[in-house]
A and B are shown apart, each in its own frame.
Chain A
Amino acid sequence: MSQPRGWKELPIGAVPFRLSTDYKTGDWRALRPVVDMNKCVKCMLCWIFCPDMAIIWDGEKILVNYDYCKGCGICAHECPVKAIDMVPEPSE
C-alpha cells in the first residue's frame, strides 16, 4: 500500500475513494473453511449466511474467497450435510 494521500488529492466531503474490496480481511482467519464438493448438496445456505460475502457460487461449485473470509465458521455450522470443515490455517 502506498503512502496515504495528501489533502489536495482527497475528494471533498470526506467521501471514501476506494471500495473495501481492496482491503483483505482474510488474514484475520485462524481456521479456514474447506468445502467437500462430494458432500455438498448445493443448498446455498453457506452463501446466504456468510457475513463476509466470501462464499462464491460459480454455477457448479462452492468456492471460498480466502481474501475476505475471516474464518467465523458460520458456514460450517449451518451446512446441513456437514460438507464444510474448519481446518487450521497452514502456518508458513
Chain B
Amino acid sequence: MAQQTLPQVPIKKGEPAYKLWIFEPGWKGELPLILNPRQLAEQKRPAILPGHRLCAGCAAPIIVKLASFAFRGPTIVVNATGCLEVATTIFPYTSWAVPWIHNAFENAAATASGVESAIKAMKKTGRLPWAHVDVVVFGGDGGTFDIGLQSLSGAAERGHDFLYILYDNEAYMNTGIQRSGGTPKFAWTTTSPVGTVLPGKTQHKKPIADIMVAHRIPYVATATPAHWLDLMKKVRKGIEVEGPAFIHALSSCDRGWRHDTALAIEVSRRAVDTCYFPLWEWTPETGYRLTDRSLSIARNPKMKQPIEKFVEVQGRFRHLLKPENRHLLRELQEWVDAVWEDLLNRATNAPR
C-alpha cells in the first residue's frame, strides 16, 4: 500500500502528520476519545487533509477536523452540496481520508439513509468485514434549514443510525452569501441587502435544532469549534447513540460575516458568550441540558455579554451599530434574551 501523495512531514513521535484512514477488513476495537490536547496532537489525524481549497480562516474544516477526532472507527462521510463539498473535492483531488460521498444539495440525509441501509443489509448477510461502520453527514445551512429539511426530517422519522452535523455559516456562502433560513435577523446578505428601507434580513433564524428535538430522535446538540472539547464529546455521543443524531454547529464565514480571517474562533466564542448561540444537548431521557460555557453563564448570569459583542466584529451587522438603528439592536437583544430565557426554563440543569 503506497500513499506516495501523502507528504512526509518530520515527526519524531507518534503517527505521521497526515494519513489516510485505513481500516483493514476484520479491524476490531474502538478509537479512544482523547481529550488531552498534547495526546490528541500525537495520536489523532484528521479525516480531512490539507490542500483543500476552502477560504483562509473558514471554520468548516475546523469542525470537520474536530468531529473526526471523535470518530470511533470505520466511518463513511456524506456531504451535502456546499462550500465544504466543493472545496474539498476539486477533481482530480480529494481532501477526504475516509470514504466520502456527495450526491446533491437537498438529499444528504436520504443518501445517508441509503448508505446506512446498505451497511445493515451487508452486515445481515455477513458481507461487512467490520463490527460497525458509522455514517456521518456534513451539511450546510442551505442544505439543512431549507432545501434539505424534508429529506432530513424523513430520515430522522425513519430512525436511520447516522449523525448529521450541520455546519451553519448562516447563509448560502457557496453561491455568494445569499440569505437562508439560518441567517439571523438584520444580517446583511446579497439577497437581504441593507437598503434605505430594509435593514438586512427581516426574519429571524429558524430554530433548526429544536425542530430536530421535536422529532424525538436520540440525540440533538449545538456546538461551536471554539468549544472544541464540548464539540468532540457531542460528536462521539451522536455517533454512539442508536438512531439519528443531530448536531447544530455554528461555523463562521469570514467572507460572509465580514470579519477578519483570524476571528473564526473568536466570533464563535462571542456567539456563546452573548447567548446568541447557546450550547446545549438534548436526549429524550434528560431533556435539554446546557453544556460548557452556556452552563457557566446560566449559573453566573453576570458572565452573559450584550449582543453588541457578537455583532461588533462582523461587517454584516455594521448597520446595527449606527445610532439611528439602536432600536434594531435592541430588538435583536430582546429576541436573544427571550430565546435564552426559554432555554433556561427548559434546561433541566439550569439553576432555578
Question: Inside 8 A of A40's CB, which chain B residues have their CB?
Answer: none
Bound Cα distance A57, B260 (Å): 26
CB neighbors of B among A39-68 (8 A): 42-45, 47-54, 56-60, 63, 65, 67-68
Chain A contact residues (Cβ within 8 angstroms of B): what range? Answer: 35 or more
**Residues of chain A lying within 8 A (CB to CB) of residue B46:** 53
- Given known A19-B5, A19-B51, contact A56–B262 (CB-CB < 8 A): no
Nearest residue (CB) in A for B88 is A20
A30, chain B: closest CB distance, angstroms: 9
Q: Are A16 and B93 in contact (CB under 8 A)?
A: yes
Roughly how many angstroms separate A5 CA and B92 CA in the complex, as a whole number? 10
Once A49-B62, A59-B42, A67-B7 are accepted as A-B contacts, the answer to whether A20 and B17 lie under 8 Å apart by CB is no
Inter-chain CA distance A75–B57, complex, in Å, is 10
Are the C-beta atoms of A49 and B42 separated by less than 8 Å?
no
Q: Which chain B residues lie closer than 8 Å to A71 at the CB level?
A: 56, 261
A19 touches B262 (CB 8 A): no
Hey, which chain A residues are within 8 Å of B62, CB to CB?
49-51
Contact residues in A for B265 (Cβ distance below 8 Å):
49, 74, 77-78
Q: Are B9 and A56 in contact (CB under 8 A)?
A: yes
Minimum C-beta distance from A12 to chain B (A):
13
**Of residues 16 to 52 in A, which have CB atoms within 8 Å of B's CB atoms?**
16-25, 28-29, 42-45, 47-52
Roughly how many angstroms separate A76 CA and B261 CA in the complex, as a whole number?
A: 11
Asked if B333 CB lies within 8 Å of chain A CBs, one says no
Q: Which residues of A contact B95 (CB under 8 A)?
A: 19-20
Cβ–Cβ < 8 Å partners of B3 in chain A: 19
Q: Once bound together, how far apart are the Cα atoms of A71 and B265, in whole Å?
A: 15
Measured between beta carbons, the chain B residues less than 8 angstroms from A20 are 49-53, 88, 90, 93-95
B5:A53 contact, CB within 8 angstroms: no
* A65 to B94 alpha-carbon distance, docked (Å): 19
Q: Identify 19 new A-B residue pairs, CB closer than 8 A, beyond the known A57-B41, A86-B262.
A: A16-B89, A20-B94, A21-B6, A21-B49, A44-B41, A49-B228, A49-B265, A50-B62, A51-B54, A51-B56, A56-B17, A58-B11, A60-B12, A63-B9, A70-B56, A72-B56, A72-B254, A72-B262, A74-B263
26 A-B contacts (beta carbon < 8 Å): A5-B92, A15-B94, A18-B94, A19-B94, A19-B95, A21-B18, A23-B93, A25-B51, A25-B52, A25-B53, A29-B56, A44-B41, A50-B62, A51-B54, A51-B57, A53-B48, A56-B11, A56-B17, A57-B42, A58-B11, A58-B12, A59-B14, A63-B9, A63-B10, A74-B263, A78-B266
Residues on B lying within 8 angstroms of A by beta carbon are 3, 5-7, 9-14, 17-18, 20, 37-38, 40-42, 46, 48-62, 65-66, 88-95, 225, 228, 254, 260-266
Pick the 5 closest A-B CB pairs, nearest first. A20-B51, A73-B262, A59-B13, A72-B57, A44-B37
